[in-house]
Each structure stands twice: as structure tokens, then as C-alpha cells.
Chain A
Amino acid sequence: MSYITKPKFKHPGLQTNELGLTRRDYEGSLTTLCGGCGHDSISAAIIQAAAEMSLEPHRVAKISGIGCSSKIPAYFLSKAHGFNSVHGRMPSVATGANLANKELYYVGISGDGDSASIGLGQFCHIVRRRINMLYIVANNGTYGLTKGQLSATADLGSKTKSGEESQYDSIDMATLAIELGASFVARSFSGDKKQLVPLLQAGLSHKGFAFIDIISPCVTFNNTDASTHGYKNTWENYIALSAVGFVPMRKEITTSYAPGKVKEITLHDGSVIHLHKTSNKYDPYDRENALHHINASKKQGKIATGLLYINQSTSDLHELQDTVDKPFNTLGSHELCPGNEALADINHTFR
């Protein structure tokens, strides 16, 4: 752990965004995670993504559970709202917050322990309920905070630093999310910001439940050559389905790729995802194909990454519940308690 404060001096040529802020203005406090932890790269990627999108920090809410992963919100966007909740219960808190104020960007940060073990039930239901948020799992296949036991996402046969071999099949969070109806599912790697940053931006812009499973190696307990979640294995075996580019709304769309080679996905807010196809013809709209592809890659020991699945025609929780346009937290007492006459009208509809 570093004890000094990060120097205030910054690169004088650092770009400012539409709000006049630089990337440095989106930082949080200095990390207390182990040096080399993938989670720090995730913080850095979120910082970069938010800065490039000119997100107003006070329009963002960061919500997490318990675990190394759930410490991450302390290390980015210190001016944003934050809630460090109970183990595995981040989805409940996020659901409540989203119901109360649907106008914020919600970033849920969790880990494989928090979401695939103790909070698996909560995870399933938040996906089902289609909360409009970006849900990130920093997935290292181990319980780092309790010194390196195998987690539920550790692949069969993967070994920890102490030599313990996983006897069970792993839970695949991305597959699970697709099965349960998530409308944006991606997988990425903390070490590849070129892919991760546009995916985060797309996830933040996506209307509906966006899920990104990020392989984020635990450098202290699960970074051996025999671990499938270590840097070495991930660098060697991850395949990008497509190179991802992201153009925030209001920006002019320019692309260096030849026409026909790029699949454009325009999101509800007007921003655009560019998928530059690599050799295979991957269709991120095809749910069955996505599931098949993930499994097929896994069989070969490969990790399929990139935008795995997207569906823009689903509705989020507020649309399904047909809530009022204004966020609940701005409603006055008269609107929340309209009086006897209104109650009589409602009762009348049941007669």
C-alpha cells in the first residue's frame, strides 16, 4: 500500500472534456489494493470512460457490496454518490436507488464472490428486473480478501497459488446474464483498456440492464501459470470478437474502418458503438449464437471477449411499471398523497 498522496501535478497536455475537466478530475482516493491488482485498471478504465463521455460526476451513483472488488468505488469519481452495501446485496440497494431517482447513471461494482456466491440470488433478480444500470463484475476467480480460496467462477482444473485445484464447473456470469434477460452483455479484461473503455461507455449509455464481466487477475493469490484467471492465461487465450469503438452522442461520427467492415449500433441516447469485425462473423443481436459462442470458446480454453449480446428493444423497470416521468425523489407530498378524492377514484376502478 502506498502511503504518500498522489502528486497533484498532471501532464500539461492532458485533454479537457466538454465540462473542462481532465481525467485527473475523475480520480478517487489512492488505491489500497495490492499493487498490480486488475481492479485498479478497472478504476482507471472507468475514470477514462467517464472523462471522455464528459459525465458529470454528481450524476453518477456508485454502489458496491463486499470484497476487494467492492472497494473499487473509493478509487474513482470521488465527487459521485456512493453506497458500499452489505455482502451480495448491492442489487437491492441499486434497485432502490434507481427507483427513487431514475435520472442518475448507476454503476454497480461487484466481484465473483459478491455476485456469484453470496449474492447470486440477488444478481439473478436484478437482471430479471431490468434495472437501468451498468453492472460490473471484477472477476478474479478467487476470494482475495480472505486469502485466496477458489471462488464459484474458478474454472474446473484451475489452480490457486497454494496449489488447490478447482473440482467444480464454474459459473459463467455472462452466460447467466444473457439467460436471465440482460439486454447488454459484454466480457473484457482489465489489461485491455482499448477494449474495456468503449465497452464501459457503451454500457453506461445503454438503456436497460448492462452487464460486463471483467477478468481482473488477483496478482497476490491467483496469478499462477495454472490459474485461468491470471495475467498470463488471459493474455494468451482471450479473443476479441470484434474491436470495439464508442462514439458518444453529440460527437461527429468518424471511422477509420472501410465501409461494410463496421457494424454500427446506435444507442437510445444517440451515441454509437462501432464493432470492427475480426475474422469471424459474430452477430451480437443473436442470443442463442452468443451463448453457443461463449461455450464453444470456453471448450477450447479460450475466452471470448467484446460485446457478446445486445438487445435494444426491451423495456427497463420504470417502463414496465409505467412510472411517472419525474423521478420519485422529486415528487412533492401532494403528488405522493393526492387525498381522499383520488383514493375514491382509485377504489372506484376496482368496483
Chain B
Amino acid sequence: MKPTNIADPNYFHKVVDCQWACPAHTPVPEYIRLITEKRYTDAYMVNWNSNVFPGILGRTCDRPCEPACRRVRVEEKPVAICRLKRVAADFKSDIKDRLPQIPKKKNGKRVALIGAGPASLTVARDLMPLGYEVVLFERDQVGGGAMRTQIPRFRLPKTVLEEELNYILDLGVTCRFGEEITSMKALLQEGFDAIFVGTGAPLGKHLELPGYEQAKSNIHTGIEWLASVAFEHVSNIGKRVIVLGGGNTAMDCCRTSKRLGGEQVSVVVRSGFEEMKASPWEIEDAMAEDIPILNLHVPKRYLVENDKLVGMEFEKVRKEIDSDGRRQLVPTGDDPVIIPCDDVLCAIGQENSFPWIERDIGIEFDKWELPVLDKATFQSTNPHVFFGGDAALGPDNIITAVAHGHEAAVSIHLLCSKQDVKQRPAPLTSLDSQKMGIHQWSYDNNISNDVRYAVPHASKELTLHDLNMEVELGFDAQLAHKETLRCLNCDVQTVFTDKLCIECDACVDICPTDCISFTTNGEEADLRTRLLAPAENLSQDLYVSDVLKTGRVMAKNEDLCLHCGLCAERCPTAAWDMRKYLFNTAKAVHACQK
């Protein structure tokens, strides 16, 4: 193998598994360390700069970081990254004086953002400090988008939502709320320098089965029903409720139903339990509220008596693998299952919908009715129109919408500065030694062996009777501190200087996870089998040095490195050093700094 190029900004970024997995590339270990030091406000700002909604995401994020956490490769459960983010938000002090300064003199450019969800709000936040005039259109009377309409208040309190929403709106965004854009053609004529579409995926899918027409006044689509609850248009539901679907919306629907008078609420999914799309913790929370989940039940028809919905019929199926290796649902032949109900909530998916974008104005759509976009710039085929969030690539999550927003803001700033939108600014990185004394580092390398701490919940006797009472209480400062110590500091990198190495094996002997080997070089596939312990996780790189004095190379398997720094502590020549790698994606403010 060739010596590893650690100057490539992606090399060490990839080692920070959580940050690499985060769509917005939040510097996770950095803020976790700040929480350890009780520097909550600093931790909050690290988050705010990357993911814009720390308090909201600390409660609602899909947390792609957690399955990626290195901890799951050496023990059972990841660090509670998401809930630590919430800790930063819960314990921070006033951040007003840390918010960006908005220039009094504007730069003369006007940008329209359509839909006041996380994607548009991110664009607004990134562009306001640059002197843009930002106009935010929203069909509802209030901002927040899906964060307000799709996430129930018992998961995300209104105060938390509005605090973080207002940090952005108070930067001086021109809000045109209650104003639905019905024609892109008309908007284009208003002379904006750029238009950003962040309208989400607003259409819930219906399930039209026999009986649908007669029963439809009691059949609701999940996302529309949740929005009606959020806006208090709906405040009750039948005693017996069936929720169809296995995603997070279904989990929110069933738990909301329980709070609005549903007594027998059940979730029914076609697939197996394992194939459910909902996050495991959301499924756990629903089950903790005594909501049964029936899997492998295919809905067949709505049962109607006297023009009123009285139940649903399901066919039981089992999973079989067909000759092509695909999973098939095969009827078991059992009698159909009848579940009586008063209301059905369909949470079987949502779709994009752009009836208001005329198809003759240069904005092309693909066969799935999604806009044709450059995946890096989010620019549509009309160079002045950008898409982000669910509106861009179909339904995903908040943190992905934020990531899109950042990139679109970069694009808009480049466009408005008459620069090439495709020339993306390089990420901001630094790599600094953490050495303080011979065996002292400016990070805590004494790894905690504790297992993951659970977040305390309020008792369900209380929460099930109050739609607005938050279920999760969040970590207290003490629990949070203990949880932070579980973080392995994967951003503190082991950096090897081959010229200093005397090949004494001290690092090899001390490494608790057998990451380091000195051996003859070879092709990667061969080298992976010849290390002290085999490097079988191909998604993790090998760090290979140049040829050393004995003709061997140092090959380090990044997979299981605990970043404990013992290799560097035992190294007599400081050939190993522990250096903190900070990586931040370039935001709009960095786009034109050359």
C-alpha cells in the first residue's frame, strides 16, 4: 500500500465515525468534551453552527451518528450522542450575544425561501450575516414546517421549537407567513436573485381498499392528521384506533391517539417487525405506552356498517425468500383477522407535490416528479432556483434538510457573487497536538467502561393525559457527565511520523485493541490478513506509513482504535502524537473567501 495521505481532509474525518455519519458533519466529540467540562453554551454553539437546531435535534434527530459510534464495535451500545446534544441546549446560558452580527448595510441581493421548515431556515441563517435580504414564505401562520406539524409536542415542546426558530427569524428575516405560493412563474417575476424551495414532502399516502368511500370520514392520513392536532383543529379521536404503517409517523400517530382519547390503539404493519422503518427508540417508546404492534398483517378492506367504519380486515402472512433471494410475504392461509375500530390513521408514506411549479419555466422534473438537481449544489435546471430538504430528494429527516440548506446557501452565495457554483469551498480543518506533558493530554484519555445511561422518562400516568407534556426528561448534569465520559474522542487522532520511529514495538505492546502492526508492506487485501489482529471491517481504513529502517511499514487498523493515546504515551521518540482533528464543512460565509 502507498503511505496514507493524512493531508486528505476526508482521511481523519472518516475516523470520526459519528461526524462522518452526520449529514451536517457536526463535530460530535468536540461538543461532548465541552459538556464534560460543563461548558454547555460552548457545546451548544458548536452544534448551532453545524446543525442549527440543537435543542430540536437533541430530541428528535434520526441520529445516524449513533449506529456509527465506534463504541458499538467494542461494546454493545453507542454513546447517547443525540441526548447529549439536548443537554447542551437544556443547560446553556443566554446565547444572544453569540449570534452572528447582521450587517446594517445590505448587499443588495434578495433571496426567496419557500416553506419555513428546517432547510429554508438553515439557508436564512447562513445568508443573513452576509447582508442578504431574505424573504421567507410559509402557507401556515407560523414557521417550523415539519418540526411543528409532524412532531408531537410531547416529544418536542413548543418553547424549544420556538426558541430555535426565533434565533433565526430574529436575525431580520422578512416573514410572509400565511402566504401560500401558488405559482412559481409569478414568483420568478418578483425579481429575486435566487429562490430556494424547501416545501418538504407534504402529501400523505392514502390506502384505498374496499369500503374506503363509505368509511373515509374516519380514515385520515398520518401527516395531515398530526398537523391538524398540532394546530389544534383536532382534539379527539375514537376509542378504538388502528394505525397503519411502521415508520416514525406511525409511532407519533399512535402515541398522539392515546393522548386524544384512544383507548384501544394498535399499530398494524405489513412487513415483519425487523423491517419496520421507525427508529428503534421510537418503537420502544410506543410499546412502553402499551401500544401493541401487529406485524405481518396485510390490510384487505375497511369494514363498514350503516355507512360508518367499524373495523378492518387483515390477512396474515409470513416471510419467505424466493428463488431470487427477495423477501416475499406469503399468506399463511389462516382465517382473516378482524380488528374493530372507530378511526384509521394511514401512516404508510408521504410524497412530494409541486402542483404550483409550472412545467414550462425551465425547472425540469424526473419520472418520480422530483426536481432534477445537481446533488452537490442543489441547483435545479433553472440556475436561480434551488431545492433542499424533503423537497429536493424525497422524504428524509431534519438533519438531512439542514445539510441541504447549508449547501444550498453556499450555492446561492456563489451564484450571487458571480462565481462558479460548482467550485465548492474546502472544509475548514485543523490538526493540533494535544500533548501537555510527557504523559498528559489536553483531553481525558481514561476511557469509561460504563454501559450507556438511560434517559429518565416522566411517568406515563401523567404523560398519557397531557398532549403537551414532554415524555423524556433529559439527562441531569450528573448523568450527562457520566455519559460524556463514554465518548472515545475519535477526533483526537493518532498521527505517526515515520522518521522518528525506532521500531521498539512499545506501541504494539501497549495497544489494548491490537490496532498497530509492523510488517512487510503488501496490497491492502493481503495486509489486512497479516496484522496482529485481522482487519476485517473493510469500511474502516488502514493507516500505513512509509518504509521504515528495517524495511517494514507501520500499519494501523483504524477500525478499533480507542484513541486512548497509550501508543503515544509509550512512544520514546514521539513518533506517535495525539492530535485533535477539527473538521467543519464550509458554510456560505466561507464560500467566497479565497
Contacts and interface: CB of A to CB of B under 8 A. Distances in A.
Interface of A: 1-14, 24, 31, 34-38, 40-41, 43-44, 190-191, 193, 217, 219-220, 223, 231-232, 235
A4 B509 contact: no
A317 B512 CA distance: 40
A35 B576 CA distance: 12
Most A C-beta atoms less than 10 A away, residue of B75, B503, B505, B564: B505
17 contacts: A4-B446, A6-B512, A6-B566, A7-B562, A9-B513, A11-B514, A14-B514, A31-B570, A34-B572, A35-B506, A36-B502, A36-B570, A40-B506, A41-B504, A191-B504, A191-B505, A235-B550
Given A4-B564, A11-B560, A40 B509 contact: yes
A13 B571 contact: no
B570 A9 contact: no
Contacts of B510: 2, 6, 31, 40
A177 to B, nearest CB: 26
Contact of B508 (A38, A44, A232): A44
Contacts of A219: 502, 504, 572
A190 B566 contact: no
A41 B505 contact: yes
Interface string B553-582: 000000010101010011111000000000
A191 B510 CA distance: 14
Which 8 A/B pairs are nearest by Cβ-Cβ distance? Answer: A36-B572, A44-B509, A9-B74, A35-B570, A4-B446, A36-B504, A11-B533, A219-B572
A232 B505 CA distance: 13
A8 B449 contact: yes
Most B C-beta atoms less than 10 A away, residue of A6, A11, A37: A11
Contacts, number: 102
Contacts of B514: 10-11, 14
Given A11-B513, A41-B505, A231-B504, A2 B533 contact: no
A35 B571 contact: yes
A175 to B, nearest CB: 27
A308 to B, nearest CB: 23
B506 A9 contact: no
Given A34-B572, A36-B570, A40-B509, A9 B75 contact: yes
Nearest to A2: B569
A248 to B, nearest CB: 20
B534 interface: yes
A193 B566 CA distance: 20
B439 interface: yes
Nearest to B570: A35
B566 A231 contact: no
Contacts of A231: 502-504
B538 to A, nearest CB: 13
A24 B508 CA distance: 13
Contacts of A40: 505-506, 509-510, 570
B375 interface: no
Nearest to A34: B572
B549 interface: yes
B506 A7 contact: no
A232 B571 CA distance: 16
Nearest to B447: A7
Contact of A4 (B75, B566, B573): B566
B505 A3 contact: no
A9 B439 contact: no
B320 interface: no
Contact of B503 (A4, A7, A191): A191
Interface string B493-504: 000000000111
Contact of A7 (B439, B502, B504, B564): B564
B445 interface: yes
Contacts of A43: 509
Contacts of B446: 4-5
Given A9-B75, A12-B74, A235-B550, A193 B505 contact: yes
Contact of A44 (B505, B549, B564): B505
Contacts of A31: 510, 570
Interface in B415-453: 439, 445-447, 449
B30 to A, nearest CB: 21
Nearest to A1: B439
B404 to A, nearest CB: 36
Given A7-B562, A41-B504, A217-B504, A235 B572 contact: no
Contacts of A37: 504, 506
A235 B566 CA distance: 25
A88 to B, nearest CB: 27
Nearest to B71: A9
A12 B75 CA distance: 9
B458 to A, nearest CB: 34
Contact of B572 (A10, A35, A190): A35
Contact of B502 (A9, A13, A232): A232
B73 interface: yes
B369 interface: no
A13 B534 contact: yes
A220 to B, nearest CB: 8
Nearest to B573: A36
A34 B438 CA distance: 11
Nearest to B508: A44
B490 to A, nearest CB: 13
B284 interface: no
Most A C-beta atoms less than 10 A away, residue of B534, B549, B572: B572
Nearest to A8: B449
A217 B445 CA distance: 28
Contacts of A35: 506, 569-572
Contacts of B508: 41, 44
Nearest to A40: B509
A202 to B, nearest CB: 21
Contacts of A217: 504
Interface in B144-185: none
Nearest to A219: B572
A55 to B, nearest CB: 19
Nearest to B449: A8
Contacts of A24: 512
A35 B508 CA distance: 12
A60 B450 CA distance: 33
A44 B513 CA distance: 14
A4 B571 CA distance: 15
A54 to B, nearest CB: 18
B536 interface: yes
